[in-house]
A and B are shown apart, each in its own frame.
Chain A
Amino acid sequence: MSVSVRIPTPLRKVTNGEDKANADGNTVSAIIASLDSQFPGIKSRLCDDNGELRSFVNIYVNGEDIRFMEGVGSGVNSGDEISIVPAVAGGR
């Protein structure tokens, strides 16, 4: 199944400037693998050596932070919107 993934500026060198990509998979980690096959190297920027999400990466499925779900194991359905967002924003 196919979902749309929003690509933030720091990753656009890897996606040849694209700000959106389509990916296949029924979990977030499968989506990341699908992105990596299209854009080699993207996975190593998002995940550490153990496959866990890096500290400063937030991923949202339909606006929900996957850390409140099952992390990279969180389920994804066709038509979901996935957003990758650097975590370094903030301040109040």
Chain B
Amino acid sequence: MPHVKCLQCRECKSEYPIEPLNACEFCFGPLEVSYDYDSVAKAVSRKSIESGPNTMWRYHDFLPVEKDSAVDISTGFTPLIHAKNLGRQLGLDHLYIKNDSVNPTFSFKDRPVSVTTTKALEFEFEVLACVSTGNLMGSVAAHGAKAGMQTMVFYPADLEQGKIQGAAVYGPTMVAVEGTYDQANRFCSELADAHRWAFVNINMRPYYAEGSKTLGYEIAEQLGWKAPDHCVVPGASGELHTKIWKGLEEFEGAGLIDKAKTKMHLAQAEGCSPIVEAFESGNNQVKPVRPQTIAKSLAIGNPAAGPYSLEVLRETGGTGVFAYENSIIDGIRLLAETEGIFTETAGGVVISSLKRLVKQGKIKKDEVTVAFVTGNGLKTLEAMGDFVVPIETKPDLDTFQKKLSNQKD
């Protein structure tokens, strides 16, 4: 960790040693990893990064772990696809989809969890734990398996089956908590005080959050070492939104790209949009809500990074936008039917919100836009409802031809 200085409170700037700590003891503000950026800038170049592995670990100089110790199941460096078909429909010439649903456990969560699992081993934890709305627990269970750690995953009991089974297969202890994610989260915060476990999104959060920066680095590198004009990012805790921006700023600081003038838009679902509501009403504080959305992976009513996400929205000239609940499935199908990418409900929120942003004139035809698709559609099949209407036929040519022509009529 040659470039890491300490943990620092984002609010009052108190400093702490590199330990499994997440909250400032003076003001409860979140702790963040502080780096010696001069030392980072000296160590990295476009060339050194390009010669690294085809995973997120090509950016290890920007991550808070020892070199060469990574628990890597081949996460990151996912495709950035020029979405010409979808772009044509929406009236955008330079629309790109960052398809992070092709990570090893099919969501962007592998990025923060890869960093956290590596760090948990450095701290000599034996148990890796998390509280999750689904994607995270699959990733924690997989990385724990790879690292030879015990894993404990906590989730709200009403989660989609695909996410429950998709985590259980890696062999963790599964704990179904009665109630909402926010209730499970509160419970786990208390639990994290009582056990010496590496709770990836609680006591390990400063390290965890750093992993998401790699999405910012990747899109810049994949665009030819340039920041885009717009990013459209799904919002749950607000952390991903702030960390993609941090990634772009760090690349700029290290001289790898020119000044980032990206407008960082945040997309939430209508039924859980506390950050967007605060943005629209001009508040600096986010008022918690009780989520009622089909986008369960975005159903965080009390978003921890909400205030910082608001800062990023205002600093970059981005817009907080929500997708109507009844447009989320349409967004999923539109992306699938135009680009051949099947995303989960969070991706439906992003595509549907992107449509609204274009309609509102926030994104112009010739501007480079990256929409983040962070999870795979097979995880949330239930949300799709009963939309399949097949042609039913006997295995007989005449019957089939007749049915086919009927359908065309």
Contact = CB atoms under 8 A, between A and B. Distances in A.
Interface of A: 6, 8-11, 13, 19, 45-46, 54-58, 60, 63, 65, 67-68, 83, 85-92
Nearest to B135: A92
Given A45-B25, A45-B26, A56-B29, A89 B189 contact: yes
Contacts of B239: 90-91
A8 B21 CA distance: 12
A92 B297 contact: yes
Give the most central of A46, A56, A86, A88: most B CB within 10 Å.
Answer: A88
Nearest to A60: B186
A54 B287 CA distance: 13
Given A45-B25, A56-B23, A65-B302, A89 B190 contact: no
Contact of B190 (A6, A11, A68): A6
Interface residues of B, number: 51
A52 to B, nearest CB: 10
Contacts of B205: 88-91
A90 B309 CA distance: 14
7 contacts: A9-B23, A10-B24, A19-B193, A56-B29, A83-B190, A85-B189, A92-B297
B136 A92 contact: yes
Interface of B: 11, 22-31, 109, 112, 131-136, 181-183, 185-186, 188-190, 192-193, 199-202, 205, 208-209, 236-237, 239, 285, 287-288, 290, 297-298, 300, 302-305, 307
B134 A8 contact: no
A55 to B, nearest CB: 6
A91 B27 contact: no
Contacts of B307: 55
A6 B28 CA distance: 15
A63 B185 CA distance: 11
Contacts of B297: 92
A68 B290 CA distance: 9
Contacts of A11: 25
A5 to B, nearest CB: 12
B237 A90 contact: yes
B186 A83 contact: yes
A89 B185 contact: yes
B159 to A, nearest CB: 11
A10 B23 contact: yes
Nearest to B305: A90
B308 to A, nearest CB: 10
A53 to B, nearest CB: 10
Contacts of A88: 22-23, 28-31, 205, 304
Given A86-B22, A90-B237, A92-B297, A54 B28 contact: yes
Give the most central of B11, B209, B304, B305: most A CB within 10 Å.
Answer: B304
A67 B188 CA distance: 19
B293 to A, nearest CB: 13
Contacts of B237: 90-92
Contacts of B236: 91-92
B298 A92 contact: yes
Given A45-B28, A92-B237, A92-B297, 7 more contacts: A11-B25, A54-B28, A89-B202, A90-B239, A90-B302, A91-B112, A91-B239
Given A9-B193, A65-B288, A90 B300 contact: yes
A19 B199 CA distance: 19
Nearest to B22: A88
B144 to A, nearest CB: 16
Contacts of A55: 285, 307
B288 A67 contact: yes
B179 to A, nearest CB: 8
B29 A89 contact: no
B155 to A, nearest CB: 10
A74 to B, nearest CB: 14
B188 A89 contact: yes
Give the most central of A6, A8, A91: most B CB within 10 Å.
Answer: A91
B161 to A, nearest CB: 17
B183 to A, nearest CB: 7
Given A60-B186, A65-B302, A85-B190, A90 B27 contact: no
Contacts of A6: 190
Contacts of A91: 112, 136, 200-201, 205, 208-209, 236-237, 239, 304
Contact of B304 (A67, A68, A87): A87
A10 B136 contact: no
